[in-house]
């Protein structure tokens, strides 16, 4: 056998190819030539693949009886019927010796039918060496979570802008080809960002096309078009297009999917929201509905800004206090397009306007009051160390003396949306206060130029 010693000569005598008298500790030839004698050869150790303990397998003739452990732990050997050539196979292993090691052959015993193991068990591979294959859904989930968790402070954190409900998706992988294709598009596109590619190459157009095609087939299916998986697919597509709109010009398609989300929620209804994914997607649908209203030539009131929907959204649905704060902020957010619509009509069509400046100001003041009430609850929630902790800023910037470390994933977007909406409403109140102290007529409107389409276009008078 390759690598096995054929005699008990020392290593020096074997390399010199001379006889060794084996007069240990120093043999005669080495003593006469004043050479280093390594002593008797070290017994070689072989590691059997079907046992965790090493066994010494002496090398001998084919007809010699060996003892080796089978997969069930029994000892095979003692008779020649299990030790014929057909029952032996050889594998190549790499030695772990510090000197670099050598490739060595390992002879293993394989029992045949009639031995300690049945032929069915003998033909099966060792369970220690078998690794079950991963499904496509498992591979996709591993890619998604690897990307999310790769760096909380680096580019890996960018994927969190797509919503807290990403962690709810992996258990649905494999049940919807459209959802799988859309998540694959999200992951591959953000991987391009991590690789530092040019912004024009960020979006994976090939995967995006597959996702659009798969989504269309699901939408055409009456049984699947309003399912939670389809709603999640449209919401994720809407977020992908918004993220890469500046580089790819997909803002028009994003508006289409924003309107689709609003229509799907209107047709589905709110429901019990027992699933956390349903709850979070409902919030996204409201945001998309606001965007769809503001993206029109004339801002229109949101379809969810009504007393009927207020009653529907008042249910707690078993949500936590922080989730309900998140919910209440967006319930105020859906009133945002209505204020812009009333203000636009007063500017452009004063004869057709159904509201006055005073009415719009009172409505904006009610929203600001509700937001102020919500702010106290948000502050109390942020004081909980399980939700958020503060620490001194490492930048040393006097404008940023402290930083927030959010420990609850719902707290950060809640605070972000609240601050954005509060600033927008306060800007509108300042502008309305300016108008209330100014004579509002058509001449003033013409002097000021084109009317704003929404509250986001309002100038700031401070």
Same domain, 212 and 119: no
pLDDT at residue 52, as a whole number: 43
Same domain, 256 and 186: yes
The tally of domains found in the chain comes to 3
- The 10s digit of each residue's pLDDT in 65-112 is 434 443 334 444 444 444 444 555 555 555 555 454 555 555 555 544
With 0-12 / 13-18 / 19 or more C-beta atoms within 10 angstroms meaning exposed / middle / buried, residue 455 is buried
Q: Where are the alpha helices (DSSP H) in 195-250?
A: 205-219, 228-243, 245-248
pLDDT at residue 325, as a whole number: 83
Same domain, 155 and 269: yes
Same domain, 160 and 27: no
pLDDT at residue 356, as a whole number: 84
Model confidence at 393: pLDDT above 70: yes
Instruction: Of 94, 109, 92, 75, give the one whose Cα is nearest residue 1.
Output: 92
Same domain, 360 and 458: yes
Residue 319 lies in a domain: no
Per mean pLDDT, which range of 177-186, 376-385, 426-435, 437-446 is the poorest? 437-446
Residue 324 lies in a domain: no
Same domain, 387 and 445: yes
Same domain, 446 and 412: yes
Final residue before a domain boundary, out of 96, 123, 150: 123
Residue 129 lies in a domain: no
R_g of the chain computed on alpha carbons: 37
Bridge partners for 55 per DSSP: 46
Same domain, 291 and 154: yes
pLDDT at residue 104, as a whole number: 53
Terminal alpha carbon distance of the chain: 92
pLDDT at residue 22, as a whole number: 85
Range of the domain at 225: 136-295
Same domain, 257 and 342: no
Same domain, 140 and 288: yes
Residue 239 lies in a domain: yes
pLDDT at residue 154, as a whole number: 46
- The 10s digit of each residue's pLDDT in 185-225 is 888 887 777 777 777 778 888 888 899 999 999 988 888 88
Residues 151-159, mean pLDDT to the nearest whole number: 45
Same domain, 145 and 285: yes
Same domain, 283 and 163: yes
Residue 342 lies in a domain: yes
């Amino acid at each position: 056998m390759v690598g096995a010693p054929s005699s008990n000569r020392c290593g020096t005598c074997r390399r010199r190819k001379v006889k060794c008298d084996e007069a240990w500790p120093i043999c005669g030839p080495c003593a006469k030539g004043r050479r280093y004698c390594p002593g008797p050869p070290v017994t070689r150790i072989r590691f059997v693949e079907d046992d965790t303990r090493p066994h010494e397998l002496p090398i001998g003739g084919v007809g010699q009886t060996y003892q080796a452990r089978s997969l069930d732990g029994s000892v095979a050997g003692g008779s020649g019927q299990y030790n014929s050539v057909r029952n032996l196979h050889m594998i190549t292993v790499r030695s772990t010796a510090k000197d670099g090691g050598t490739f060595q052959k390992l002879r293993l015993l394989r029992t045949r039918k009639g031995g300690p193991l049945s032929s069915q068990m003998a033909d099966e591979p060792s369970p220690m060496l078998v690794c079950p294959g991963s499904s496509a859904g498992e591979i996709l989930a591993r890619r998604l979570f690897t990307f999310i968790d790769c760096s909380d402070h680096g580019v890996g954190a960018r994927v969190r802008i797509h919503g807290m409900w990403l962690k709810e998706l992996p258990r649905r992988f494999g049940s919807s080809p459209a959802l799988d294709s859309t998540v694959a598009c999200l992951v591959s596109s953000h991987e391009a960002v991590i690789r530092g590619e040019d912004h024009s190459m960020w979006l994976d157009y090939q995967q995006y096309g597959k996702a659009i095609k798969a989504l269309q087939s699901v939408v055409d299916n009456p049984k699947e078009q309003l399912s939670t998986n389809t709603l999640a697919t449209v919401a994720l597509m809407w977020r992908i297009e918004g993220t890469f709109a500046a580089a790819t010009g997909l803002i028009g398609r994003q508006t289409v999917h924003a309107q689709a989300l609003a229509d799907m929620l209107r047709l589905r209804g709110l429901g019990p929201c027992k699933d956390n994914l349903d709850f979070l997607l409902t919030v996204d649908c409201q945001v998309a509905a606001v965007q769809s209203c503001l993206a029109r030539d004339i801002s229109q009131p949101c379809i969810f800004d009504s007393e009927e929907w207020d009653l529907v959204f008042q249910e707690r649905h078993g949500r936590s206090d922080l989730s309900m704060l998140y919910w209440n902020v967006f319930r105020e957010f859906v009133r945002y397009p209505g204020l812009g619509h009333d203000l636009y009509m007063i500017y452009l069509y004063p004869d057709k306007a159904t509201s006055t400046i005073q009415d719009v100001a009172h409505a904006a003041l009610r929203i600001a009051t509700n937001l102020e009430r919500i702010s106290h609850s948000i502050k109390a929630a942020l004081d909980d160390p399980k939700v958020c902790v503060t620490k001194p800023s490492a930048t040393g910037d006097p404008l940023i003396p402290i930083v927030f470390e959010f420990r609850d994933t719902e707290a950060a977007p809640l605070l972000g949306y609240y601050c954005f909406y509060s600033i927008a409403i306060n800007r509108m109140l300042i502008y309305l206060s300016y108008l209330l102290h100014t004579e509002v007529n058509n001449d003033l409107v013409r002097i000021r130029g084109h009317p704003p389409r929404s509250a986001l276009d309002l100038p700031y008078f401070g």
